[in-house]
Amino acid sequence: MVKFKELGFRDFDEYIAHFFNALLPTNKTYEYFVDWNKVKNVINKYLDELSLLNSLTKVGTAEREKHLYSLLAKYPQIVEIIPFLIAERVKNGRIDIFDPDLEQFLIFEFKRSKVNKEIIPRIIEFCIKTGIMDLFQEVKDIHDYLLGVEVGIDTNARKNRSGDIFEAMCQKKIRRLVGRDYNIVNNDPDFSLYPIITEGKSKGKTHDIVIYKDNKPVLIVECNFYNVTGSKPISIAESYIEMYRVAKEHEVDFLWVTDGPAWHKMKEPLIRSMKEIDWVLNFRMLNLINRILK
């Protein structure tokens, strides 16, 4: 059971009440919305190609197909960014499309090595039928347009980014709170109990944080944030009971930092874990971490 007295609570019920009252309604920090470094890296990788494609916005409609043909013939590398203009991430440099008029599946190649006199007309056909050719009439700058496209694509990564953000929040706060006698290692590749727990199936999996004292691991920290209910948080809650037991066998403390509005609707599995694990805190309660490390 959670050592509520060491954390400063009179009884388990007071600890539970405080825990649920202190849950964060969201973990949307400023970094949550757009990973600008990721977006800019995609754009900057193709600056030369974008400049070449941008010339298509400067020619008249009647000349645009001819100009694109010329560009592809002289600079075949520009073919690789054409799918980006319709927010498509290609696999193996190809897009498969079903043509309802022909009732056939058509394969379009977007590799510079595949560009030749036979392929170029098919690429132009693709640009016409997907509306890319009209795009050059509507936008003034392909670079700015693609920047917007990449921002839109990046929003799909918010769900995964949410967990990373919470982990980073905890790592930063723990570093600020823990004294100089301790060494904090994020995702330490040199110490992990996962291979033991999974019987060697998770050799590369690391703990979010490992805290050392005198070169010996003294505390393992796992961080999870849940906005919505589901089977995953319940499964995690159960699995961390085993993590705690294995950590105890190896004379290492285990701290589970978990947060998020989903726990308000899933109290029972979390409380079951609290009855088995010594240390369970949420983000706001991390101020108590030195009571664990004392």
pLDDT at site 201: 73
Q: Which of 285, 273, 271, 287 is nearest to 13 (CA)?
A: 271
Cα separation, 172 vs 132, whole angstroms: 45
Cβ(109)–Cβ(119) below 8 Å: yes
pLDDT at site 162: 77
For residue 294, name the pLDDT band (cuts at 50, 70, 90).
Answer: confident
DSSP state of 193: S
Q: Which two tokens stand for residue 128?
A: 């016409």
Cβ(36)–Cβ(65) below 8 Å: no
Is pLDDT of 202 > 80?
no
Domain spans of the chain, in order of start = 12-26+178-293, 36-156
Give the list of residues 6+ apart from residue 205 with CB closer than 8 angstroms, or none. 192, 194, 195, 198
The pTM of this model reads 0.78
In the chain, % of residues over pLDDT 70: 99
pLDDT at site 189: 93
pLDDT at site 74: 96
For residue 14, name the pLDDT band (cuts at 50, 70, 90).
Answer: very high
For residue 263, name the pLDDT band (cuts at 50, 70, 90).
Answer: very high
pLDDT at site 216: 96
Q: Where are the alpha helices (DSSP H) in the chain?
A: 12-21, 36-44, 47-54, 61-74, 119-129, 132-138, 142-154, 158-177, 194-197, 231-249, 267-274, 289-293
Cα separation, 78 vs 133, whole angstroms: 14
Q: Which two tokens stand for residue 171?
A: 């790592």
Q: pLDDT tens digit string along 126-182? A: 999 999 999 999 999 999 999 999 999 988 887 777 778 999 999 999 999 998 899
Cβ(229)–Cβ(262) below 8 Å: yes
